Structure 1
């Protein structure tokens, strides 16, 4: 489900498990970019951020080649990182729950301190930060998605079951004044990725996240990748730099995507994507450049996930902010893309919204459910594992 439980390391330590990444222009104030990172799937009241890890948003200016269908984004080398770290427990609040304090290090070296689970968050130097327990904004019928891959047919129902109904996550929200933080001459299109890394002088990447469901769906083992049926690629992929894949395993990632994308294309009984003679799928290279792409010069939109990428594939100018909003039905968009290339009806999992829709005011995510249901074990990695 999205990026929840996307590898054995993430399953072993939920505090560093990236669940979702969102990036969108502020709905309330022009010129501000909102970044949201969710971690700790199925978090319970009292859940804590790790004091041994850094939670980092990485933002890079990005150019879009004009009139070149199938080109890739030109991601710059300049980078703006927003890194959040947390203390250990520092006491108890009025409800008896342990509390933490956090610090967000900004690209210019300034920092903003904030208490965890405080609606007001922290503010300064052109940034506002919130961190704490909130309702999980992701929504999906995970069981029917897994059944779709296991049975090799579209198993979604007109009215699906939201597997994440009423569950919570730990959320980090960073709202950025783009001109103040990134400069008056900064670009308007940005590539955004998130990662958790170990604290210390020699940080080790624990998880990385760009687009939803790259690891749990697109790189899942569905028995169609003849090159690799043994290694769980997700842990290897989590160690990769979001903006520069290393040479060691890139052929394995490409093989898995090429095989899986052809598999998904055939779920409706017809072929909508034309692969190259060597078997390369038209989406493979674009998806391996795994980050959200958002245009802060465009107004906020709730349903614009992957629109900038689609425009790039077609050699056209994008018309929306792209990125990914908290209310965006990314699963329907993803499945429609990979099954029929938007040449047919929308492929829906039958779930259209989260437990509660996100608001248009900081910190955007709804209040947590203080009596969440017991976690339900749902397979997410692959239909044949």
Structure 2
């Protein structure tokens, strides 16, 4: 049963606040952090980006990029794109590089990096495929999905919140719910367990198609050392899907809207670019209000303002520019979103980290925690690692799939 058929009625206004996030946690489409996507994306899993990863190779010489695709293969009619902006200041884009890959057949990939290098051939082997100038390296094939998620525990936590809202939990001036302590405890307890038992990863064994790219740092930092990465899948007519940080495009858009309005919003979002993000900031503000309520304290989310009317504005604007930031000067990459935390939130402790997102990190828990209480560990779904261990320094980084081969 898909998330779209799980609930068919129009909820009361208070329940509507929580319902889309509950639906985002239902098992059928939640095969990656980019779930509950638009109808166009759901129609073709080969156009559906699951997750985006970006981090520095520990020697500091190369940028590593990985895009998982929900379908078990690639389409020969689509192009898979990494875009890297470089800047001297956070939020900027002084120069840009586009890495465009096509997969005309299972045994052939064609990737070009804006005249810097190009790789063409069979990229399914563990060593990948080097470009003509050895500045670019590519892998394209099935891998184990490094993303892990206690889907059922997350759904149960949202259901606790939804029940409290339906029972009349009051909303403050910023539309943040004032949950009772017992509700807060129940949300946290459900989130960390699966049906009362230890948390279980519902994505265990999932093997999406993976496009992994390694590119020389000097090729992508022409505008400055701060790199902003996003990914897209495009047809000849338009952009179908895009991804940056976890969750933003799905869990925070259309939170108060019905299915049709939410679908239209997500279609428009996917067709756009991070530079168009200001349009979506007001919608994101509305979605942030629910997360802020989960710990029983309103107004303590990341970048929260004291004035209710402006409480979520700064964070919404930050998230609306949905690029994943990497500091190419740093070799240690342990904290997801460290660049955002250091640059936008002024957290000095994160300045020595490259940020981005590696396949080893529980980035979704960090993301949720920042939205709930501005911490990096306040929220947990009870999982800390995948069943298979990916690598941050050994290409192609993602662990081998249980079943070899894929069909484009």
TM over 0.5: yes
2:195 paired with 1:195: no
Question: Using the alignment, how far apart are the partners of 1:352 and 1:77 within structure 2?
Answer: 37
Q: 3-state DSSP class of the match of 2:100?
A: strand
Question: Using the alignment, how far apart are the partners of 2:389 and 2:324 within structure 1?
Answer: 21
CA 1:22–1:226: 2 relative to 1, 3 Å = closer
Q: Which has the higher helix share?
A: 2
**What's the offset of the Cα at 1:140?**
1.0
2:177 paired with 1:168: no
Q: 3-state DSSP class of the match of 1:172?
A: strand
Partner of 1:182: 220
Structure 2 unaligned regions, length at least 5: 1-31, 162-186
Partner of 1:87: 104
Partner of 2:290: 263
Question: Using the alignment, how far apart are the partners of 1:171 and 1:364 within structure 2?
Answer: 10
Contact 1:114 1:130 (C-alpha < 8 Å) held by counterparts: no
Partner of 2:107: 100
More deviation, 291-300/4-13: 4-13
Partner of 2:379: 347
- CA RMSD in angstroms, aligned pairs only: 2.4
Question: Using the alignment, how far apart are the partners of 1:36 and 1:367 within structure 2?
Answer: 14
Q: 3-state DSSP class of the match of 1:59?
A: strand
Q: Kindly provide the CA deviation profile for residues 339-359 of structure 1, in whole angstroms up to 9, marking residues without a partner as x.
A: 11119x621100111121102
2:393 paired with 1:363: no
Contact 2:107 2:121 (C-alpha < 8 Å) held by counterparts: no
CA 1:117–1:226: 2 relative to 1, 3 Å = closer
Question: Using the alignment, how far apart are the partners of 2:374 and 2:233 within structure 1?
Answer: 33
**What's the offset of the Cα at 1:310?**
1.5
Partner of 1:22: 53
Contact 1:60 1:80 (C-alpha < 8 Å) held by counterparts: yes
Contact 1:83 1:104 (C-alpha < 8 Å) held by counterparts: yes
Question: Using the alignment, how far apart are the partners of 2:199 and 2:288 within structure 1?
Answer: 24
> How high is the TM-score relative to the length of structure 2?
0.76
Question: Using the alignment, how far apart are the partners of 1:297 and 1:110 within structure 2?
Answer: 22
Question: Using the alignment, how far apart are the partners of 1:371 and 1:104 within structure 2?
Answer: 22
Partner of 2:191: 156
Q: Of the candidates 155, 163, 166, which is equivalent to residue 146 of structure 1?
A: 155
Contact 2:60 2:330 (C-alpha < 8 Å) held by counterparts: no
Deviant stretches of 4+, over 4 Å: 226-229
Contact 2:231 2:244 (C-alpha < 8 Å) held by counterparts: yes
Question: Using the alignment, how far apart are the partners of 1:260 and 1:320 within structure 2?
Answer: 29
Question: Using the alignment, how far apart are the partners of 1:138 and 1:323 within structure 2?
Answer: 15
Contact 2:372 2:378 (C-alpha < 8 Å) held by counterparts: no
> How high is the TM-score relative to the length of structure 1?
0.80
2:306 paired with 1:278: no
Structure 1 unaligned regions, length at least 5: 65-72, 89-98, 373-385
Partner of 1:236: 268
Partner of 2:359: 326
Question: Using the alignment, how far apart are the partners of 1:229 and 1:119 within structure 2?
Answer: 43
